[in-house]
Chains A and B, each alone.
Chain A
Amino acid sequence: MVQRRGAAVEIAGLRREYVSGQGTVVAIDHVDLSVAPGEFVCFVGPSGCGKSTLLRILAGLDKQTAGTIKVDAAGWAVENAMVFQDSGLFPWMSVEKNVRFGLDTRGVPREEAAPRVEAALKLVGLTRFRNHYPHQLSGGMRQRSAIARAFVTDPGMLLMDEPFAALDAQNRVILQGELVRLWEQTGKTVIYVTHSIEEALLMGDRTVIMTAQPGRIKRIIDVPFPHPRDLIQLSASPEFGRLKLDIWRVLEEEVNRARAEMEL
């Protein structure tokens, strides 16, 4: 099987400011980053560092004030698909209809959509639950459905906004493992926003640490662990602990700074 490589992303001088009553708030500034095709990049930073803003701009849901984004997703059906924090499944559609949504919107005929939906449901192990409504599913199953909905559109890049933050610890570990496995199989580019250093190190190739407001890139750390990864074993290894501590030292300053500003 020939491995396709995911989208390449070139971000240069990205800035987003919001004008509010009290003046201008700069959410992100001076963000420059090249993402290689098929790379798994995690963004970590204190709350309000603009990491979600960056993701929303990449998703086309927000517009930058300055700077450019170039995405090369040649060979993929769509440029990107986003997985949201609380799944964003439509409560009035069954799992199957939710998964098919991104195909319906793009006019994919039913005969072509059916096997793709089938495959996506199988990918996340929800074939038996295709006719369930989201409220009948557990939080973990809802996020699996949301991942299937993203995968089915065949995006060059997956944008994930703390998709597992609302899950309990056990489910989070399981879904992290599944996502890494899917990523290893499909070669898509993944941009993953999280507040958890651990999560970033377990899954990503690179971890981008953001500063507190305005969000800038403070440091980029290469995660040296080879793939395929066994997340449980990895999380217990001494190298993992060391790297986690290093990153925490860098992030600590920013978290304290954000807190100090909030208390002012």
Chain B
Amino acid sequence: MSGLSNKSQERLLYFISPIGLIVLWQVLLMAGIGDRRFVPAPSDIAWRYWEMVASGELARHTVVTLWRVFAGFFLGSIPGIAVGLLMAMFRPVRIFFDPLIAALFPIPKIALMPLLLLAFGFGDASKIALVVTAVFFPVVVNTYVGAANIEKIYWDVAKNYGASQSVIFRRIVFFGALPMIFAGSRISLAVSFIVLVAAEFVATKAGIGYLIWNSWELLQVDVMFVGIVTVGVLGLIATVVLQEIERKVIPWKAE
């Protein structure tokens, strides 16, 4: 270990736990502990994964799920940011939205699925609408907290230097809240995947959630695992991309 820098030591540690888990899993099954029909080995899953990639089946489902997540994510977070900022700036707006958010945030969004199917039908629209409802609340709350906690001195400077409400909104409140907006977006992104995969269990013929549920009905456990792993990988990639965007957009954030 002494030859490695601190950084590469940490990086090694970072990969040891997942890889160790997979190796342990494989070894146990190969040793005959566990039934491979119900608990496929990592090598079985990898093989099936490769097959589904090659046939294009996995890509087909992935594209559907990604489209629904991102459409819902943007349609939910942009109004969420706007409402959060307005709540921080204008007391009546805050008083108007506070009880709505308090009442609607705790409702499990998946419980809205039947209602959304009624309203938007069985197509993509109902799934996207569900993601929108799940994304909106964490973004609104985080944006509001971020904007409301902007240090008082910045308001003083803005006022003393003659800033209008619109300048305060665009150049101070928005940027001051940006770190918290990103924090809310990260939570929302994870929540998007969570509710969407659950929603895809019913009333659709495409998407990773459908893939997982369908493989359960056909008792193809390895396919089920392929679906689960895919969701994890998609969530990881999406989070990393969001972090990179955050680093680009918030260059003033000290390391």
Contact = CB atoms under 8 A, between A and B. Distances in A.
Contact of B156 (A61, A78, A106, A134): A61
Given A59-B156, A134-B252, 19 more contacts: A60-B160, A82-B160, A84-B156, A90-B154, A90-B171, A92-B178, A92-B252, A93-B175, A101-B161, A101-B171, A104-B167, A104-B171, A105-B161, A105-B163, A105-B164, A106-B162, A133-B252, A135-B254, A149-B161
Contacts of B178: 92
Nearest to B158: A105
Interface in B110-169: 153-154, 156-164, 167
B29 interface: no
A88 interface: yes
Interface in A119-141: 133-135
Interface string A78-98: 101110101010111100000
A11 B133 CA distance: 56
A78 B162 CA distance: 9
Interface string B220-255: 000000000000000000000000000000111010
Residue among A104, A105, A153 with the most chain B CB within 10 A?
Answer: A105
B194 interface: no
A106 B157 CA distance: 14
A180 B240 CA distance: 51
Interface residues of A, number: 25
A59 B178 CA distance: 28
Q: Which of B156, B158, B251: most chain A CB closer than 10 A?
A: B156
A156 interface: no
A102 interface: yes
Nearest to B179: A92
B161 A90 contact: no
A84 B171 CA distance: 19
A157 B160 CA distance: 12
B154 to A, nearest CB: 6
A60 B159 contact: yes
Interface of A: 56, 59-61, 78, 80-82, 84, 86, 88, 90-93, 101-102, 104-106, 133-135, 149, 153
Given A104-B167, A105-B167, A59 B160 contact: yes
Contacts of B250: 92
B172 A90 contact: yes
13 contacts: A56-B156, A60-B160, A84-B157, A86-B153, A90-B175, A91-B252, A92-B252, A101-B157, A102-B162, A105-B162, A105-B167, A134-B252, A149-B161
Consensus secondary structure, chain B interface: helix
B176 A92 contact: yes
Question: Which 5 pairs, one residue from A and one from B, show the smallest C-beta to C-beta distance?
Answer: A92-B175, A102-B161, A88-B157, A105-B163, A133-B252
Contacts of A102: 161-162
A101 B159 CA distance: 11
Nearest to B162: A105
Question: Which of A60, A88, A135 has the most chain B CB atoms closer than 10 A to its own CB?
Answer: A88
A90 B156 CA distance: 11
A218 to B, nearest CB: 28
B161 A81 contact: yes
Nearest to A134: B252
A87 to B, nearest CB: 9
B159 A153 contact: no
A93 B167 CA distance: 14
Nearest to A89: B157
B215 to A, nearest CB: 48
B205 to A, nearest CB: 46
A134 B252 CA distance: 8
Contacts of A80: 160
A153 B161 CA distance: 8
A45 B193 CA distance: 60
A88 B161 CA distance: 12
Given A86-B153, A90-B154, A90-B172, A135 B252 contact: yes
